[in-house]
Amino acid sequence: MMTGEQYEESLRKMNFKVYLQGELVKNPVDHPIIRPSMNSVKMTYKLAEDTQYADLMTATSHLTGKKVNRFCHLHQSTDDLVRKIKMQRLLGQRTAACFQRCVGMDGINAVASTTFEIDQKLGTKYHERFNKFLLKMQEEDWTVDGAMTDPKGDRGLAPSKQADPDLFVHVVEKREDGIVVSGAKAHQTGAINSHWILVMPTIAMTKDDTDYALSFCAPADAEGIYYIYGRQSCDTRKLEDGDIDVGNKQFGGHEALMVFDHVFIPWENVFMCGEYEFSGMLVERFAGYHRQSYGGCKVGVGDVLIGAAAVAAEFNGVAKASHIKDKLIEMTHLNETLYACGIACSAEGHKTACGNYLINLLLANVCKQNITRFPYEIARLAEDIAGGLMVTMPSEKDLCHPEIGKVVDKYFRGVASVSTENRMRILRLIENITLGTAAVGYRTESMHGAGSPQAQRIMISRQGNLEGKKQLAKAIAQIKD
């Protein structure tokens, strides 16, 4: 396995083509806006080095029997699924941000079982190809970006009916040695911190959309792939001197538009090419795994936000107020409910035909449905406890100014024994998680990541077994059909 430092150096050897605010970035690793997101991924390697967390951060490969980073692992039991959630909560607690590696982990588990079942039915060799890639991923300890979401264009039209065919990733040419693909993937979390890209279809396809029923892998810096970095609220604060106003100087997340401009993919890296009838299976399984993930990562960030709100209450001098205590209890109740859902869908998982374990899809969708709501209430309560100063206080430069600094220090102090600087620091952290750059990975991602709320409601409807429940009621009421 790689160390954190080895991971950072591995990114320096890559040749990414990244545009950020209209400029081509020469050195993504050290760019002040991108660097905190790299630090978050780096933490997934650093904690794996710590023997204290070995049971969460590492696992035993079913391919080699060797120890691997859990992010490169196919779940071999419900215990693996539970440990995944606990690992994600730990990383959320340590970074208070998105650590970006979950999408690839969820992707490999979905692609593994889907390719196995494609091969069983159609006699293809996709699973064999996938296992070769997985073996290399484990040996090299790669960060793999799972790429599912296409720009989609007109949501009322199928991929093949769009005015522009590139609004969904598709095959533009089939050759003897491979395929050529074009299109884009949007909202790609951690793409610029990844070694490889694992592409999956974004929706269930029909026969007319055969060219769009695609899954493949490619180096993240492959010829023809380039990125347009997504903006985040308050992101240019990272360009300023000082660290108070950023709220979380060390860690962050990122999203980007990933463009495929006639990218060549050798057949050995293709895991689905036209088998449209299996595209829905792959989407459903990936979505289930990723909705499970949010019961871990969002809970870990929630732990930090609850702690920050409690500290702010102390610094404001209101920690003993009964309504403050009650709000902190409510925040904890909501956060632990999310965690309970993540654990439940993991414990209720089952073995696939491939051998790896899939979560309980109904409970995973219930987990994510709660995620679309509870973090918003946790954030609201944190903002309530913090007070309006969280969004109206002067800058760090004002605090450090030789003349007005004393005025800022005087009038923005809360409890006399706590420095104004420390009060500002905790309020900026709350701002960062609820409104700033970290809000992308906590607040907004809770709504749209792994599918919008309606996507989960559709799955809950499918998985909820309403007919079975009706039969239970009829039996108790002694109603005979």
Of the candidates 297, 251, 286, 266, which has an alpha carbon nearest to the alpha carbon of residue 86? 297
> Would you say 133 and 285 are in contact if contact means Cβ atoms under 8 Å apart?
no
Cα of 357 vs its chain's centroid, Å: 20
How crowded is residue 11: how many other Cβ atoms within 10 Å of its Cβ? 20
Catalytic residue among 7, 294, 339, 442: 294
Of the candidates 75, 220, 88, 33, which has an alpha carbon nearest to the alpha carbon of residue 145? 220
> Would you say 20 and 256 are in contact if contact means Cβ atoms under 8 Å apart?
no
Separation CA 370–CA 203 (nearest Å):
23
Separation CA 111–CA 130 (nearest Å):
8
DSSP for 146-163, written as a single string: EE-----SSTTS-GGGSS
> Would you say 356 and 283 are in contact if contact means Cβ atoms under 8 Å apart?
no
User: What single DSSP character describes residue 443?
Assistant: I
Catalytic residue among 217, 273, 297, 354: 297
Q: The tokens of 322 are what?
A: 């009964």
Where does residue 457 rank: exposed (0-12), middle (13-18), buried (19+ CB within 10 A)?
middle
Cα–Cα distances (Å) from 158 to 203, 207, 273, 285, 385, in that order, read 9, 11, 18, 21, 46
- The answer to whether residue 255 is catalytic is yes
Any residues with CB less than 8 A from the CB of 468 and at least 6 apart, and which?
none
Catalytic residue among 102, 217, 341, 345: 102
Strand partners, 259: 184, 226
User: What single DSSP character describes residue 290?
Assistant: H
Give exposure, 126-154, as e/b (b: 16+ Cβ within 10 Å).
bbebbbebbeebbeebbbbbbbbbbbebe
Separation CA 416–CA 292 (nearest Å):
44
User: What single DSSP character describes residue 327?
Assistant: H
- The answer to whether residue 62 is catalytic is no
Separation CA 428–CA 30 (nearest Å):
23
Catalytic residue among 115, 189, 352, 434: 189
Residue with tokens 């293809």, as numbered in its chain: 124
Catalytic residue among 255, 275, 284, 383: 255
> Would you say 459 and 292 are in contact if contact means Cβ atoms under 8 Å apart?
no
Catalytic residue among 8, 275, 396, 445: 445
Cα of 312 vs its chain's centroid, Å: 28
- The answer to whether residue 187 is catalytic is no
Catalytic residue among 290, 341, 372, 383: 290
Catalytic residue among 45, 58, 95, 98: 98
Q: What amino acid is encoded at 36 in this protein?
A: P
> Would you say 300 and 93 are in contact if contact means Cβ atoms under 8 Å apart?
yes
Active site residues: 98, 102, 189, 255, 290, 294, 297, 445
